[in-house]
Amino acid sequence: MIEVKNITKTYKAGDIKFNALNNVSFSVNDGEFVAIMGPSGSGKSTLMHILGALDSPTSGTYFLDNKNVSTLSDDELADIRRDKIGFVFQSFNLLPRTTVLRNVMLPLVYAGIHSAERENRAKNALRSAGMDEEHFHHLSNQISGGQIQRVAIARALVNNPSLILADEPTGNLDSKTGEIVIGTFQKLNEELGRTIILITHEQEIAEHADRILFIKDGILIEDRTTHQKRMAKV
């Protein structure tokens, strides 16, 4: 699904150049669950922005579903984000005085989907994210943090993307709620076959993935299979 070849991202400040990413290469198969870890300033967020078609590399290539994303125009990048990628953010980004169902339906409104289909697809996405139907018509500021994150996951699912990108999705949650949310990602990966790439600074969260990519100073220093994945193969 994903092939990153020799990606470098260079920022300039006057005469000073800084490589946020330096010659990074890796691939992700369809249906894999991959975590990206690294200290603050390591380049992991820059990498996530490139994978999410929110930014382009200075050099190197990024292929998503056999399409060279690194050469696309702004309009083509917008199409990729709309049709192929679902985003889940640490800050949730839900509308607070809007119902759970309406929050999940909004991307379909922008896509011009008919109202009856919008509601049906939003309900299915909420069920897939583990949200109880009794909460569908609650306002998003009337539910718990874990439930809010499940709504955010459902919103990422509603356009049926081939790739889900999650940026510190458990960062604002307590450890127990974070485990519940990461369990939702595991279910989406294992039962529905979604490809997931997750940024986290928490080792115990990363270990739920199939693989962990470690980035430091813009360089991919390790790409390893997790204990969980090795046990699954036994």
Residues in the chain, total: 234
pLDDT score at 231: 55
Token output for 94 = 């839900």
One DSSP character per residue, 141-164 reads: GGS-HHHHHHHHHHHHHTT--SEE
7, 160, 226 from 120: Cα distances, Å: 40, 13, 37
pLDDT score at 47: 94
- Predicted confidence pLDDT, tens digits, the chain (234 residues): 899 999 999 998 888 999 999 999 999 999 999 999 999 889 999 999 999 999 999 999 999 999 999 888 999 998 898 889 999 987 767 888 899 999 999 888 877 889 899 999 999 999 988 899 999 999 988 898 889 888 999 999 998 888 999 998 888 788 888 888 888 899 889 988 899 999 998 899 999 999 999 999 999 999 999 976 655 554
pLDDT score at 234: 47
> Which residues are bridge partners to 68 per DSSP?
63
pLDDT score at 223: 95
Going by the DSSP 8-state scheme, the letter that residue 30 receives in this structure is: T
Q: Which fold has domain 2-225?
A: Rossmann fold (3.40.50)
| Contact call for residues 63 and 41 (beta carbons, < 8 A) | no
pTM value surpassing 0.85 = yes
Edge-to-edge order in the sheet of strand 59-64: 16-28, 2-13, 59-64, 67-68
Kindly provide the b/e burial profile for residues 1-25, where b requires at least 16 CB atoms within 10 angstroms of the residue's own CB. Answer: bbebbebebeeeeeeeeebbbbebe
pLDDT score at 232: 58
pLDDT score at 229: 62
SS3 208: coil
